[in-house]
């Protein structure tokens, strides 16, 4: 996720762009930049926080009445000056800011390089100004060149384009990444999100999929690119406060991030491509495999362990990072995949260094480009879920799981466990999973709120699962503990009778994570054992799962995904329940007591 802004009007653009970027910083804060137009393109950009860059380079003193700006959350290429946006073509006449991921940038870059274009960054974005300039050189106009360039691009994008020869014009396009027009008097804006527009105007026009907009100071015209149709859309009046707007209109970042999971998983799957393939080769070369992580990332590691066993017949040990050096050895035949959202968790870094000291190899799966773990790893993979502001990890969990699913499918095919058709079918279900997650979220919002209301006074909650339902239960319990302070304990269904059953009394709430698959029948027997002790059974299950319905007092249904994809949807009602419990108990889910987003001490 990145933030983009554009301005064309009668005032000096740069101070307005800076003000807008300040309000978009929650979308990315590892680098920033601006380009304005006066006679020629003026560009200033660097790695670092927006305010530091402003102090160092004076972004706001750039001249001109037209300009674009960007705050970056790196996905391709580490945070650095040359990777920061805006990106330019060879002639220095076309400047582009971009939010999204270009999947086919490597192919396009090779083609353009053969035609003589010189690239200076490691980003996927840089192909865009070069492509536009390629069509401009062929004599096409600006709008047509942007349209043709976008036609070549696969992936997600929201772009703003500035062209030195047309100083009173700004072009924007939206595909899968948000983009809005803001209309003022004699001035027009483009932005990724409403907060950036609020200091200047409340009259907003959201772009729809595959739409292009051409802005001048006095007008804006929209066109649907595939059909070529002009689109008439009137501005709507936004009534948000600035704080509400920063959270996308949601009361908390936690809720915003829970609800943006379908988007985040889509980005993860779009961006993984060649990288996931490299990771599968990396892991296959090892004789002993470990997935290490802490908290939520550890739970994703356990999901990964189950997936690799089930889909590829591969044995992986999932280890809590802080215990790795105590319990695991290694040598040149050992490989670790370090799973860490922040890439800064001290326990993970220690585990990784421990294995390296023994001669083992390290790959990482992280969300933060250039983070410490990337410097300790021979292979670096990214989930590309966008910045996660809330202390509790939500969207990064499902993105980690989606990445591990993709990896397991590749390894499954490689190992011969999955034949071509099976892999293809699972892959197409995985690619369609954001739609199912969307449905699961929609149907769970009110159900979990009602359930939370009944549970506000509870002191203990148990979550049970078998198979892939077990790590999902662990993650659900962690969410409940972190933000609602209700004691929640997760168990593998089979372990109940070995002790915890003794704690269940009449009315004790228990949530069964009843994922489909071979182990579900045995979980149903566990449900009966618990019901016989008076437990109140709540179950997360696939809609229309009659068997679970018979054994539970209350059902939280999710759409049918089949066993392997189930962690992506089954966790959603649990996250929402934790959120509603937190709010219902008058707590602030964004700021859980005693916890930090990134734990940099051992």
Q: How many CB atoms lie within 10 A of CB 408?
A: 27
Show the 3-state SS of 523-572: HHHHHHHHHHCCCEEEEEEECCCHHHHHHCCEEEEECCCCCCCHHHHHHH
Q: Looking at 168-176, 293-301, 514-522, 547-555, which segment touches ligand AGP (CB under 6 A)? A: 293-301
Stretch in the footprint of ligand AGP (CB under 6 A) among 76-84, 212-220, 288-296, 455-463 = 288-296
Residue 313 to residue 423: CA distance in whole angstroms:
14
Among 2, 294, 328, 364, the active-site one is 2
- CA distance between the termini of the chain: 30
Contact yes or no for 285/335 (Cβ under 8 A)? yes
CB 517 within 8 A of CB 563: yes
CB of 342 to ligand AGP, least distance (A): 3
Q: At what angle do helices 261-284 and 420-455 cross, to 10 degrees?
A: 130
Q: Tell me whether strands 40-47 and 31-38 are parallel, antiparallel or unpaired.
A: antiparallel
Q: Which of 276, 294, 401, 581 binds ligand AGP (CB under 6 A)?
A: 294
320 binds ligand AGP (CB under 6 A): no
Give the interface segment with ligand AGP, choosing from 39-47, 217-225, 291-299, 426-434 (CB under 6 A): 291-299
> How far is the C-alpha of 367 from the C-alpha of 7, rounded, in Å?
31
What track of x and - describes contact with ligand AGP for positions 471 through 510 (by CB under 6 A)? Answer: -----------x----------------------------
User: What x-and-dash track marks residues 369-408 binding ligand AGP by CB under 6 A?
Assistant: ----------------------xxx---------------
Three-state SS for 516?
A: coil
Rank residues 476 and 557 by Cβ distance to ligand AGP and give the closer one: 476
Distance in Å, CB of 370 to ligand AGP, minimum: 14
DSSP designation for 258: H
120 or 596, CB closer to ligand AGP?
Answer: 596
Dihedral angle sign, alpha carbons of residues 403, 406, 409, 414: negative
CB nearer to ligand AGP: give 36 or 268: 268
Give the nearer residue to ligand AGP in terms of CB position, either 238 or 599. 599
Query: Scanning residues 329 to 368, which ones bind ligand AGP (CB under 6 A)?
Result: 340-342, 345, 348
- Give catalytic status of residue 328 as yes or no: no
Quick one: 393 or 405, whose CB is closer to ligand AGP? Answer: 393
SS3 state at 254: helix
Q: Which of 415, 443, 500, 598 binds ligand AGP (CB under 6 A)?
A: 598
Contact yes or no for 97/68 (Cβ under 8 A): yes
- One residue of 75, 145, 192, 297 binding ligand AGP per CB under 6 A: 297
Given the residues 40, 424, 454, 597, the one annotated as active site: 597
User: Which C-beta is closer to ligand AGP: that of 145 or that of 296?
Assistant: 296
Write the DSSP assignment of 438-499 as a string of letters. HHHHHHHHHHHHHHHHHHTT-SEEEEEE-TTHHHHHHHHHHHHHHHH--EEEEEEGGGGGGT
Candidates 9, 155, 266, 295: give the one binding ligand AGP (CB under 6 A). 295
Determine whether 424 is an active site residue.
no
192, 158 contact by CB (below 8 A): yes
Residues 189 and 66 sit within 8 Å (Cβ to Cβ): no
Residue 24 vs 338, nearer CB to ligand AGP: 338
Per CB under 6 A, residues contacting ligand AGP are: 294-297, 340-342, 345, 348, 391-393, 482, 598-599
Residues labelled catalytic: 2, 597
């Amino acid at each position: 996720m990145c933030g983009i802004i554009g301005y064309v009007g009668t005032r000096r653009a740069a101070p307005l762009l800076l003000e807008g970027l300040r309000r978009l910083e929650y979308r990315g804060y590892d680098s920033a930049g601006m380009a304005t137009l006066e006679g020629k393109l003026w560009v200033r950009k660097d790695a670092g926080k927006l305010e530091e860059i402003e102090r160092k380079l004076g972004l706001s003193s750039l001249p001109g009445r037209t300009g674009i700006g960007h705050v970056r959350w790196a996905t391709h290429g580490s945070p650095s000056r040359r990777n920061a946006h805006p990106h330019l073509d060879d002639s220095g006449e076309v400047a582009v800011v971009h939010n999204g991921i270009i999947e086919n940038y490597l192919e396009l870059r090779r083609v353009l390089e053969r035609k003589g274009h010189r690239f200076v960054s490691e980003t996927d974005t840089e192909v865009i100004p070069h492509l536009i300039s390629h069509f401009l050189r062929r004599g096409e106009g600006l709008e047509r060149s942007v349209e043709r360039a976008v036609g070549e691009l696969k992936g997600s994008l929201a772009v703003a384009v500035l062209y030195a020869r047309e100083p009173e014009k700004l072009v924007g396009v939206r595909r899968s990444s948000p983009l809005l027009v803001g209309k003022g008097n004699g001035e027009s804006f483009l932005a990724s999100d409403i907060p950036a527009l609020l200091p200047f105007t409340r009259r907003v026009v959201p772009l729809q999929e595959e739409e292009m907009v051409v802005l001048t100071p006095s007008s804006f015209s929209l066109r649907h690119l595939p059909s070529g149709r002009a689109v008439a859309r009137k501005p709507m009046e936004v009534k948000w406060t600035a704080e509400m707007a920063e959270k996308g209109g949601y009361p908390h970042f936690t809720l915003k991030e829970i609800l943006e999971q379908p988007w985040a998983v889509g980005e993860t799957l779009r961006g993984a491509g060649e990288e996931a393939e490299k990771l599968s080769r990396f892991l296959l070369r090892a004789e002993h495999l470990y997935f290490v992580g802490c908290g939520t990332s550890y739970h994703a590691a356990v999901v990964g362990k189950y997936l690799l066993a089930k889909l590829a017949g591969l044995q992986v040990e999932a280890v809590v990072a802080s215990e790795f050096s105590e319990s695991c050895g290694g040598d040149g035949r050992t490989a670790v995949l370090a799973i860490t959202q922040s890439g800064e968790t001290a326990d993970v870094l220690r585990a990784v260094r421990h294995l390296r000291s023994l001669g083992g190899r390290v790959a990482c799966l992280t969300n933060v480009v250039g983070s410490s773990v990337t410097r300790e790893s021979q292979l670096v993979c990214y989930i590309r879920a966008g910045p996660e502001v809330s202390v509790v990890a939500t969207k990064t969990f499902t993105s980690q799981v989606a990445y591990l699913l993709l990896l397991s499918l590749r390894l499954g095919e490689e190992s011969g466990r999955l034949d071509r058709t099976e892999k293809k079918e699972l892959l197409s279900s995985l690619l369609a999973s954001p739609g199912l997650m969307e449905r699961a979220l929609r149907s769970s919002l009110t159900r979990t709120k009602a359930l939370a209301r009944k549970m506000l006074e509870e002191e203990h909650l148990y979550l049970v699962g078998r198979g892939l339902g077990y790590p999902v239960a662990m993650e659900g319990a962690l969410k409940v503990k972190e933000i609602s302070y209700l004691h929640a304990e997760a168990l593998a269904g089979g372990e109940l009778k070995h002790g915890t059953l003794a704690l269940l009394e009449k009315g004790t709430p228990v949530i069964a994570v009843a994922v489909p698959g071979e182990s579900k029948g045995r979980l149903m027997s566990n449900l009966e054992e618990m019901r016989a002790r008076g437990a109140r059974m709540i179950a997360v299950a696939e809609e229309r799962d009659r068997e679970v319905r018979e054994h539970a007092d209350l059902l939280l249904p999710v759409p049918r995904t089949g066993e392997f994809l189930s962690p992506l949807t089954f966790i959603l009602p649990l996250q929402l329940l934790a959120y509603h419990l937190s709010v219902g108990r008058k707590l602030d889910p964004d700021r859980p007591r005693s916890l930090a987003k990134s734990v940099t001490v051992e």
